[in-house]
Structure 1
Amino acid sequence: MIKVEDLHKSFEDLEVLKGVNTVFEKGKTNLIIGQSGSGKTVFLKCLLGLFIPDKGTILYNGKAYQNFSKNEKRELSKQMGMVFQGGALFDSMTVEENVVFPLKMFTEMTKGEMKNRVEEVLDRVNLIDTNDKFPSEISGGMQKRVSIARAIVNKPNFLFCDEPNSGLDPRTASVIDNLIQEITHENDITTVINTHDMNSVFEIGENIVYLENGLKAWEGNKDTIYKTDNQKLTDFVYASNLFQKVRISQREGL
């Protein structure tokens, strides 16, 4: 679980986060949504420890980050998996080399143990017999699955995803969404997803935080978002055809 209390972050005279309070629950897919400039990327980077907040507290499983020692911060980083927007795979490395990379960095596993763990996670993301392929030799959807495999190879307690469906067709995006949710449930991970994809919101949004001008303007889930009386949130998601269909079906009792 990650608890955020009164989080503030500014860059020179620009205040980006203005006192965010929320809880990202363990074993659930927690989504951060909001328009461009709402602060969601800065928020995610604060959660990752890439930005230090000016004020406020982030607690990981009940302990405040500012109270962590250097060793504890290093251990926390080992417990974090990250799925980057563009995949961020190493082009010069094979699929297997990409996935094993965190194990070489953060563990003292033997080569045999690493090999077994890589095979395990590649099997979990349905990538069989791709070990020796390079990223350029596989599809965009497969590259995202490699990125997920790499993110979970260390069995993280926290999984962060930045626009994981970026550049994918709707069907492939749905596969990625469901894979992330399944892995979250299976491993009881605290998963936080930064997304603008409304299909993701309605498919896997078990907890949704809507940021507006650096503040949490709404919080709920995929079953309650269509009932919101927040007009800006309605306007934000109404551009999605799926959202329109949901509202129509709910209104007509379908």
Structure 2
Amino acid sequence: MLEIKELHKGFSGEEILKGITATFEQGKTNMIIGASGSGKSVFLKCMLGLFTPDQGEIIYDGERLNEMDEDRQKELRMEMGMLFQHSALFDSMTVEENVMFPLRMFTKMRKKERLEVANDILEKVDLTGLNQKMPSEISGGQQKRVALARAVVNRPKFLFCDEPNSGLDPKTATIIDNLIQKVTHESNITTVIISHDMNSVLEIGETIIFLKDGKIVWNGNNKKIFKTDNEAVTDFVYSSELFRKVRIAQNEGIAT
């Protein structure tokens, strides 16, 4: 579990995060949503330890990040997996080598063991047989699955996903969503997903917080988000043509 208490962060006198308190549950897909400029990226970088908060606490399984010494922080980073917005695969490495990279860096496994673990993960994300392909030889959706395999190959306790469906078509995005949720449940990971994709929210939003101007203005799940009367949330949810049609249909249903 990951707990955030009264988190503040600012730059050059401008406060970006304004007292965020939240709990991200283990074994669930926890989503952070909100419009551009709401503070999502700064929040993520604080949780990853890339930014030092001005005030507040970040607590990993009962341990406060600001109280950890350098060695413990390094250990914590080894317990984290990161799925980047644009996959961030190494172009000069094969699929297999990309997936094995964290094992080579952070474990003492022999190559045979690393191959066994990598093949097992590749099978779980439906990429069996693509071991020797280069990133440039596979599709964007396959690249994202390789990136997910690399993020979880070290069996992390915490998985962070930054806009995992960026640049993907709706069908492929749904596949990625379902894979993230699958590995979260199977490995009981605390997964935190930054997203602006309402399809993802509806697919896998088991817990959701909505940020606006650096504050949490709503929290709930994908079953409650259509029922809220919070104006900021409804404006965000129904900003796309698809969801405007859903709202019209709902209103017509109520009227009849």
Are residue 20 (structure 1) and residue 28 (structure 2) matched? no
Q: Show the counterpart of 2:61.
A: 61
Equivalent pairs counted in the alignment come to: 254
What corresponds to 2:94 in structure 1?
A: 94
Matched ranges for 1:213-232 at <5 A = 213-232=213-232
Aligned residue type for 2:172: T
Match of 1:119? 119
- SS of equivalent residue, structure 1 residue 76: helix
SS in 2 for 1:225: coil
Q: For residue 240 of structure 1, report the CA deviation from its aligned partner.
A: 2.9
Q: Which residue of 2 aligns with 1:80?
A: 80
| Partner of residue 167, structure 2 | 167
1:243: Cα distance to partner?
3.2
Unaligned runs of 5+ in 1: none
Match of 1:165, SS? coil
CA shift at 1:164, angstroms? 0.4
Unmatched runs of 5 consecutive residues or more in structure 2: none
* Matched residue SS, 2:226: helix
Q: Would you say the 8 A contact 1:226–1:243 is kept in 2?
A: no
CA distance in 2: counterparts of 1:26 and 1:245, whole angstroms: 35
Q: Which residue of 2 aligns with 1:51?
A: 51
- Please say if residues 238 and 247 of structure 2, whose CA atoms lie closer than 8 Å, have aligned partners that are also in contact: no
Give, in angstroms, the shift of residue 15 of structure 1: 0.8
Cα deviation 1:189-217 (Å, max 9, x = unaligned): 00000001000011100001100000011
Residue number in structure 2 paired with 1:188: 188
- Give 2:146's aligned residue: 146
Q: 1:20 to 1:111 in 2, by over 3 A?
A: same
Structure 1: distance between partners of 2:246 and 2:205 = 14
User: Retained in 2: the 8 A contact 1:31–1:192?
Assistant: yes
Give the Cα separation in 2 of the matches to 1:81 and 1:147.
Answer: 10
**Offset, 1:245:** 5.2
Q: What is the rounded CA distance, in whole Å, between the counterparts of 1:171 and 1:110 in structure 2?
A: 38
SS of 1:145's equivalent? helix
Structure 1 residue 14: deviation in Å? 1.4
Taking structure 1 as the reference length, the TM-score comes to: 0.96
Partner AA of 1:161 in structure 2: C
8 Å CA contact 2:95–2:135 kept in 1: the answer is: yes
Render the CA deviation track for 1:92-130: whole Å, top value 9, x for unaligned: 111011111111111111111101000010011000111
Quote how far apart the aligned CAs of 1:70 are.
1.5
Q: C-alpha separation between the residues in 1 aligned to 2:199 and 2:231?
A: 20
Distance of 1:12 and 1:149 partners within structure 2: 38
Provide the alpha-carbon RMSD of the alignment: 1.4
Q: Partner letter of residue 87 of structure 2?
A: G
Of all paired residues, the percent bearing the same amino acid is 60
Match of 1:239, SS state, is: coil
Q: Measure how far apart 1:233 and its partner are.
A: 1.2
Q: How far apart in 2 are the matches of 1:110 and 1:44?
A: 33
Task: State the shift of 1:59 in Å.
Answer: 0.5
Q: 2:253, 2:61 → 1: CA distance? A: 41
CA contact (8 A) 1:35 1:236 kept: yes
Q: Closer, same or farther in 2 for the Cα pair 1:79/1:242, shift >3 Å? A: farther
TM-score by length of 2: 0.96
Partner of 1:105: 105
- 2:206 match: 206
Once the two structures are superposed, residues 163-192 of structure 1 have per-residue CA deviations (whole angstroms, 9 ceiling, x without a partner) of 000000000000000110011001100000
